[in-house]
Structure 1
Amino acid sequence: MKKGVLLVNLGSPDSTEVKDVKRYLDQFLMDERVIDVPYLVRAFIVRGIILRTRPKKSAEAYKRIWWEEGSPLIVLTERLQKKVQQLVDIPVSIAMRYGNPSLEAGMRELASQGVTEILLVPLYPQFAMATTETILVLAEKLRSTKFPNIRFTEIPAFYSHPDYVRVLSESIKEALQEKDWNHILFSYHGVPERHIKKSDITKSHCKIDGQCCQSSSPAHQYCYRHQCYETTKQVAEYLGLKEGTYSTSFQSRLGRDPWLQPYTDQTIENMAHQGVNKLAVVTPAFVSDCLETLEEIGMEGKDEFLENGGSEFHLIPCLNDRNDWAQVLSRWVSEWAAEPESVTHV
């Protein structure tokens, strides 16, 4: 069997034109694992309400962060792919869960090179039904209907893998080396609380009460909230951060249902009011800078902090195409490729 690798990221509109942003948002928000309500209700919410006004606003936001080469997320993923490809002996392709290049296109590119066994690498450190799970579900659907001769090996969530913790920690250390700061905020993408409970394989452990994430349970294998807090904890230990100098929050909520708290925007405002005048923010739910990091945090979050009394705000870049991150991925790939059978080693 010939092996290949598919690096899968979230995705991006093809351009900053409203029509392209609308098409992208429709595909994203109509995913039943993103807005997990019955189809007709989801269609009413998305196509009857959100897509009437949101695309124009989102298009303006994308224009603020768009690069000359295109979408930052796409460009950075391409750069990462090229670096990994230079370090391994098997084909490496990229795909996006939403937008282009599609998951089907990525699988087809590998299949055209004779690949029959694919290592799927969702570029999300923490597992969530709206990120990792939706990639795996669509990939299996495509495999069974269009690529029946292909086998998958899925790389598990790497939120606490020593290699990931090390490169994330080193990236933070480098970014703050010559910066003066009072507090580091670990801001993760938010999800509805019901997603946490739906992902609970024990059907009883996750109560989101401040204690369940700290007590051992098989539920943690798929608990996004636990995995976020564990990433923060391990990075803080690696960097030797003192208690009270860092915290965790969750950004980007939609609708009126309760989402994971504390909310990032409220946290940033409160910190400015409470005397934190030099704030650094890192976004470990993303490995590539994108709209949610560059615009929501780097622009909106910064403005909010400064307008409420803060004096310095620093957005720490994602891992992007850092050499040490590419080396970690290439080592995971090479170890998998060397196995005689499909073995998930990470």
Structure 2
Amino acid sequence: MSKGVLLVNLGSPDSTDPKDVKKYLDEFLMDERVIDVPYWARTLLVRGIILNTRPKKSAEAYERIWWEEGSPLIVLSERLQAKVSELTSVPIALAMRYGKPSIKSGLQELHEKGVDEVLIFPLYPQFAMATTETILVLAEELRKKHYPQMQFTSVPAFYNHADYIRVLGTSISESLKGVEFDHLLFSYHGVPKRHIRKSDITKSHCKIDGSCCQTPSAAHQFCYRHQCYETTRLVAEYLGLEKGKYSVSFQSRLGFDPWLQPYTDRTIERKGLEGVKNLAIVTPAFVSDCLETLEEIAMEGKEIFEEVGGEKFTVVPCLNDRDDWVRVLSRWIDEWAKQEVTV
């Protein structure tokens, strides 16, 4: 068997043109694991309402963070792929769940290199229906249809892996070196509460009541909320943060359904109103900076904080293509390729 790896990130519009943004949002929001309602309702919501109002506003947001080389998420993912390729012994392809390069094109690239055993590597530390699961489901559909000779292995959520915690903790420590901060906020991408319950393999554990995430259960293998809190706990322990010096929130909610709380925007506002003058924020659900980190947090979050009296707002960059992160990914991949240790 010839082995290869497919790194998969979220994706991005091809440009900041509202037409390209609309095309991207249609693919993204019509995914049944992102908006998990019946097709007719999803179509009515997305194509009847959202796509008639949101693309222009989203295009303006993308324009605020767009780089000369293109989408920050795509550029950073390409840099990561290039660095990992230099350190690993197997071919490394890159794909996006939405937009280009597609998962189909990534698999085709590996196929043309003679690869028939693929490690699907979702670039998400925590498992969620709308991230890891949708990648694996689509990849398997494409395998059955186009590459039946291929075998897939997937990287499980690495939210609590010691290597990941060390690199994330080190990146936070380096970013905040010399920075006096009153509070460190761990902001994770939000998901509807029903996604948590749908991912509960026990069908009974997840009650989102403040205690179930701390109670040992097989459900935690696929519980996004538990994994976010566990990442936070481990990083806080690694950094020696005192309780009360940090907290967790969830960003990017959409629609009117109950989403995981507390919400990031309201938490930022509340911290400012409570007298926090120096707020630091990190976004561990993302390994690459993107619209949600560069615009929603670094720009909108800063504006909210300053409007209520906050003075210093420090955003910790994502891991992006940090050398220590590249070394960790490369080692995990080579260990898999050698069939010595599984990630």
Question: TM-score, normalised on structure 2?
Answer: 0.99
Match of 2:332 in 1: 332
**CA deviation after TM superposition for structure 1 residue 164, in Å:** 0.2
Tell me the secondary structure at the aligned position of residue 60 of structure 2: helix
Match of 2:42 in 1: 42
Match of 2:194 in 1: 194
The correspondence of residues 290-301 of structure 1 with structure 2, limited to 5 A, is 290-301=290-301
**CA deviation after TM superposition for structure 1 residue 326, in Å:** 0.4
Tell me the secondary structure at the aligned position of residue 255 of structure 1: coil
Partner letter of residue 54 of structure 2? Answer: R
Tell me the secondary structure at the aligned position of residue 227 of structure 2: helix
Partner letter of residue 194 of structure 2? Answer: R
1:176 maps onto 2:190 in alignment? no
The correspondence of residues 148-227 of structure 1 with structure 2, limited to 5 A, is 148-227=148-227
CA separation in 2, counterparts of 1:140 and 1:313?
42
**For the aligned residues, what is the CA RMSD?**
0.7
1:241 maps onto 2:236 in alignment? no
Partner letter of residue 42 of structure 1? Answer: R
CA separation in 2, counterparts of 1:308 and 1:275?
9
CA separation in 1, counterparts of 2:37 and 2:339?
41
CA separation in 2, counterparts of 1:89 and 1:246?
40
CA separation in 2, counterparts of 1:147 and 1:63?
38
Match of 1:273 in 2: 273
1:288-307: per-residue Cα shift (whole Å, max 9, x none)? 00000000000000000011
1:168-190: per-residue Cα shift (whole Å, max 9, x none)? 00000000002111110000000
Tell me the secondary structure at the aligned position of residue 118 of structure 1: strand
Tell me the secondary structure at the aligned position of residue 213 of structure 1: helix
CA separation in 1, counterparts of 2:51 and 2:87?
42
Partner letter of residue 92 of structure 1? Answer: I
> What runs of 5+ residues in structure 2 fail to find an aligned partner?
none
Partner letter of residue 225 of structure 1? Answer: R
- Could you tell me the percent identity over the aligned residues? 71
1:24-62: per-residue Cα shift (whole Å, max 9, x none)? 000000000000000010000000000001000000000
CA separation in 1, counterparts of 2:305 and 2:251?
15
CA separation in 1, counterparts of 2:206 and 2:85?
40
**CA deviation after TM superposition for structure 1 residue 339, in Å:** 1.2
Tell me the secondary structure at the aligned position of residue 329 of structure 2: helix
Match of 1:319 in 2: 319
The correspondence of residues 74-153 of structure 1 with structure 2, limited to 5 A, is 74-153=74-153
1:260-307: per-residue Cα shift (whole Å, max 9, x none)? 000000000000000110000000000000000000000000000011
Aligned residue pair count: 343
CA separation in 1, counterparts of 2:302 and 2:145?
46
Partner letter of residue 146 of structure 2? Answer: K
Tell me the secondary structure at the aligned position of residue 313 of structure 1: strand
**CA deviation after TM superposition for structure 1 residue 113, in Å:** 0.3
**CA deviation after TM superposition for structure 1 residue 67, in Å:** 0.2
Partner letter of residue 125 of structure 2? Answer: P
CA separation in 2, counterparts of 1:9 and 1:327?
18
Tell me the secondary structure at the aligned position of residue 57 of structure 2: helix
Which portions of structure 1, spanning 4 or more consecutive aligned residues, are displaced by more than 6 angstroms?
none
Partner letter of residue 77 of structure 1? Answer: S
Partner letter of residue 76 of structure 1? Answer: L
CA separation in 2, counterparts of 1:9 and 1:338?
24
Tell me the secondary structure at the aligned position of residue 214 of structure 2: coil
1:287 maps onto 2:287 in alignment? yes
> What runs of 5+ residues in structure 1 fail to find an aligned partner?
none
1:254 maps onto 2:254 in alignment? yes
1:153-179: per-residue Cα shift (whole Å, max 9, x none)? 100000000000000000000000021
Match of 1:230 in 2: 230
Match of 1:23 in 2: 23
Match of 1:9 in 2: 9
CA separation in 2, counterparts of 1:15 and 1:255?
25
CA separation in 2, counterparts of 1:161 and 1:339?
18
**CA deviation after TM superposition for structure 1 residue 89, in Å:** 1.3
Partner letter of residue 325 of structure 1? Answer: W
Question: TM-score, normalised on structure 1?
Answer: 0.99
CA separation in 1, counterparts of 2:56 and 2:178?
39
